[in-house]
Structures are given as structure tokens and as C-alpha cells.
Amino acid sequence: MLRPLRALLSVALIVFSVWAAFKVPLGELTLAEHIDRIGETPQAQDLVDGARSTVNPVIEEATDRMLGEYIEAPTHADAVDPNKAHPQRPRTSKLPRP
């Protein structure tokens, strides 16, 4: 009974925080507007560019690995006669065949 109440309280807190960030003024601007202006500064742009230059090689390597640049298995199968591929072995069981 406590778990659903706790989840509902958490969701309500998140919704209230988002609403307050966009509607409650902190001086002349809201919190969201302050963050937007901070993000437009040259220092913030340098920070974003530095983070991208660090993260992009890691993402590219992971993408290459997931999409198969390092796959060593063949990507095609040769045509094989199904009768010759797996010859039937003689049965050694003494049980009667069905």
C-alpha cells in the first residue's frame, strides 16, 4: 500500500518541479529561462563541444561494433546439397523403428 502512494508522491513532485521551473519567476526570468541563457554563453558552448569530442569516438566505436564492422563470420552461405550435407548414420539402437 505504501509503494503506490510513494510513486504517486514522486510523480507529483516531478510535475510540480517542472511546472515551477517554467512558471515561477526568479527575478526577471524563470529557472528555465535562466538555464537557457546560461546555455547560450561561449563557455557553455565550449563545454558542450569538449564533451562531444570526448564522447563521439566512444559512441562511434560502440556503433561500429554493434553494426558489424568487427564481425568475422561470413555474411553469405554457399549452396549445399541437403542430401550430402548430413549423411544419415546407421541406427545402432535395438529398439524397433516406429
pLDDT of the chain along its 98 residues, tens only?
789 999 999 999 999 999 999 999 999 999 999 999 999 999 999 999 999 999 999 998 888 888 765 555 556 666 666 666 555 666 566 666 66
42 CA to centre of own chain:
30
Give the pLDDT score at 63. 83
The counts of H helices and E strands in the chain are 4, 2
For 60-97, b/e burial (b = at least 16 CB within 10 A) is: eeeeeeeeeeeeeeeeeeeeeeeeeeeeeeeeeeeeee
Residue 94: the pLDDT is: 66
